[in-house]
Amino acid sequence: MTEYVHTVGADEQAKIARFLRWFAIGSLLFIAAIVALFVTADSWLRLISIESERRFIEPYIDLLVESDVIEGDPVLQDYVRDLARSMDAQLDSDRELELRVFVVEGDMINAFATLGGYIFVFDSLIEAVEDENSLAMVLGHEIAHVHHRDPLLGTGRAMLIQLALSTFSGNGLDPNTVNVGSDVILNQYSREQELAADELALQLVQDRYEHVGGATRLFEIIKSDVDDVQFAEFLSTHPDTNARIKRIEALTAEQGWPIGEPRPYPDAVLEALHN
Any idea where the domains of the chain sit in the sequence? 8-39, 49-274
> Rounded to whole angstroms, how far apart are CA atoms 29 and 109?
45
Query: Which carries the bigger pLDDT value, residue 191 or residue 236?
Result: 191
Q: pLDDT tens digits, residue range 20-39?
A: 888 788 777 776 776 666 66
Q: pLDDT tens digits, residue range 83-128?
A: 999 999 998 766 667 889 999 988 888 898 888 889 999 999 999 9
C-alpha closest to that of 121 among 164, 72, 177: 72
Q: Please give the pLDDT value at position 269.
A: 95
Q: Please give the pLDDT value at position 234.
A: 42
> Rounded to whole angstroms, how far apart are CA atoms 36 and 13?
34
Q: pLDDT tens digits, residue range 224-270?
A: 754 444 444 444 445 578 888 999 999 999 999 999 999 999 999 99
C-alpha closest to that of 57 among 65, 45, 68: 65
- The answer to whether 151 touches 159, Cβ cutoff 8 Å, is no
Highest mean pLDDT among 88-92, 151-155, 180-184: 88-92
Evaluate if residue 186 carries a pLDDT over 50: no
Q: Please give the pLDDT value at position 160.
A: 64
C-alpha closest to that of 156 among 1, 44, 72: 44
Q: What is the mean pLDDT of residues 43-55?
A: 78
Query: Which carries the bigger pLDDT value, residue 183 or residue 122?
Result: 122
- The answer to whether 53 touches 95, Cβ cutoff 8 Å, is no
Q: Please give the pLDDT value at position 222.
A: 81
For the whole prediction, is pTM greater than 0.85? Answer: no
> Rounded to whole angstroms, how far apart are CA atoms 229 and 128?
9
Q: Calculate the CA dihedral of residues 132, 138, 141, 145 and round it to 10 degrees.
A: -120
> Rounded to whole angstroms, how far apart are CA atoms 264 and 254?
27
Q: Please give the pLDDT value at position 213.
A: 95
pLDDT class of 180 with cuts at 50, 70, 90:
very low
Q: What is the mean pLDDT of residues 65-84?
A: 86
